[in-house]
Amino acid sequence: EIVMTQSPATLSVSPGERATLSCRASQSVSSNLVWYQQKPGQAPRLLIYGASTRATGIPARFSGSGSGTEFTLTISSLQSEDFAVYYCQHYSNWPPYTFGQGTKLEIK
């Protein structure tokens, strides 16, 4: 089973600044990496797939990069609606799919 590890657990950033979230896989997942955003009381929302492709309707300030075992989600200029929990998930060597434990992005 592939273990996904996200860092940091909590990230405090001011609105308008850049946020960088990390995700590491215990073995290579190639580019088969997905990012989700989850706000309190809501279902997760697909942000990025294929490590770097934005899902339909996702603003350009969200970008993903990486391959193999190291991945990054960058939010270029934080808006108030971006403060949420972010999860990475691998889509390789399944089952099972596994998620990272999440990074909570909070307002500084």
Partner 1 sequence: EEQLVESGGGLVQPGGSLRLSCAASRFSFSSYWMSWVRQAPGKGLEWVANINQDGSEKYYVDSVKGRFTISRDNAKNSLFLQMNSLRAEDTAVYYCASDRTNYYDTSGLRYWGQGTLVTVSS
* Interacting residue ranges for partner 1, rule: CB under 8 A: 31-32, 34, 36, 38, 42-46, 49-50, 53, 55, 87, 89, 91-92, 94-102
CB of 44 to partner 1, least distance (A): 6
CB nearer to partner 1: pick between 16 and 40: 40
CB nearer to partner 1: pick between 13 and 50: 50
CB nearer to partner 1: pick between 16 and 57: 57
CB of 91 to partner 1, least distance (A): 4
CB of 58 to partner 1, least distance (A): 12
CB nearer to partner 1: pick between 16 and 96: 96
- Buried b / exposed e along 12-29 (16+ C-beta atoms within 10 A): ebeeeeebebbbbbeeeb
Distances (CA, A) of 7 to 30, 42, 57, 88, 95: 19, 22, 26, 11, 24
